[in-house]
Structure 1
């Protein structure tokens, strides 16, 4: 009886997992299929397979979005923001994890508070500050904002992972004459590779998919990011869905490759930081 119940539970669990997988995969397939349909086919048969196959909308989206320039803008902002953020937040997480006193515990709570406050509450005061500092429509202005917005999550994840690093390694380095900076960058920082990879990829995803911040703070058409360019296909009285679907596929494809390559490191970093933190 127990064997029968166990098999039924296993089959039921597999069925539920299949249903959940289909619910996640179907919208992605629908976007991909819709991007290779003609406008007439998309209007008359929106949920079916394409009757006519075309790649013209990918070419049109490439030209209309200024794809190469927009990708370079987004990549530059993302890579610089993530690179600087990783160095700064890993140092902050190391100090918070190792200095267990009221001051650093309070600093940790302040970082966590940054994860709770929504960006919509600060975007207007922040716009006034950036306008007074003449940072509107500049790369450095947007990068500064991303550095601040990425810090709470990065410190939260990295501080949990730092606690899994044995203190004996640092003590041995100090005995050999290493200072705190040399100990961190030569001993601790390399051991944080799984967590750093996780933080870097997730933060890069956030910047790549972000629409609100570039739309507010970048007004120069030559510095616009890829998501803002995609929004140009949608107007008040007209939506070019064929171009939108093709543009979505072109935006998702680079991040999908990065995720597939770094998937193992992302899972290892999240589980290690969560369990040992």
Structure 2
């Protein structure tokens, strides 16, 4: 009975696996094929193989999006925001995890509460705050909001990893005359490399793909990010899907490259967190 079930179950399992793979691969393939079709080809064969391959949509998208400038804007905002939030979150997680008293437990709960409140509830109050400090349509204004938005999740992930770092290492460093900051940066932070890499990549994806924040707080077209520039391809009466999907490909490629290089650290970070008790 078990052998019969094994013979039947294995092909069924492989079949289901291929179905899942196709469900993931097909949308990506559809985006790529649509990006290299002409308008007439797209109208006649929207889901078929292109009769004539053309890369004119990529050239037009590159020029229309002002790709180089918007890419630099996106990289600058994402790099500063992610680097700042990871550093501050790591330091906050270290203090919260090592100070076992009611005050720091309350601080930790406040960070967790920040994960519950959706950004849409704070859009108007944040706009008023930025307006008060003359930070509307400025890079620092957007970066400050990203720091606040990404901090709760980062502290939540990193605090669990800090608890897994043996206190004996810090005590030995203190005996050798190392101060708190030196102990953190030379001993604790290097041991958090898998967690820091995981948090960095996940936060980078969030900032890179974000559309709402730059659209609301960066009205100057020269300061907007690539996701906002992509939205200019879509109109009320006319949508050039080849152009839109070409822009999507140009947005996705940088993040795909980063993920391919960082996936080893992400997986090790997730698995390391899974076995901590």
C-alpha distance in 1, partners of 2:161/2:21? 30
Structure 2 spans left out of the alignment, 5+ residues: none
Name the TM-score, length of structure 2 as normaliser: 0.97
| 1:136-160 deviation line (CA, Å, top 9, x unaligned) | 1111000000000000110111111
**Which residue pairs with 1:150 in the alignment?**
150
| 1:104-132 deviation line (CA, Å, top 9, x unaligned) | 22211111111111000000111011011
C-alpha distance in 1, partners of 2:247/2:103? 48
**Which residue pairs with 1:180 in the alignment?**
180
C-alpha distance in 1, partners of 2:4/2:260? 38
C-alpha distance in 2, partners of 1:7/1:103? 59
C-alpha distance in 2, partners of 1:19/1:111? 40
C-alpha distance in 1, partners of 2:75/2:58? 20
| 1:188-207 deviation line (CA, Å, top 9, x unaligned) | 00111111111111111111
How far did residue 221 of structure 1 move? Answer: 1.1
Structure 1 spans left out of the alignment, 5+ residues: none
Question: What is the SS of the residue equivalent to 2:54?
Answer: coil
C-alpha distance in 1, partners of 2:25/2:18? 10
| 1:227-266 deviation line (CA, Å, top 9, x unaligned) | 0000000011111111101000000011001111111111
C-alpha distance in 1, partners of 2:228/2:208? 11
Question: What is the SS of the residue equivalent to 1:224?
Answer: coil
- 1:194-209 correspondence runs (5 A): 194-209=194-209
How far did residue 9 of structure 1 move? Answer: 2.9
C-alpha distance in 2, partners of 1:233/1:201? 28
- 1:83-102 correspondence runs (5 A): 83-102=83-102
How far did residue 8 of structure 1 move? Answer: 3.0
C-alpha distance 184-76 of structure 1, shift in aligned 2 (>3 A): same
How far did residue 100 of structure 1 move? Answer: 2.1
**Which residue pairs with 2:238 in the alignment?**
238
- 1:125-274 correspondence runs (5 A): 125-274=125-274
Q: How many residues were matched structurally?
A: 277
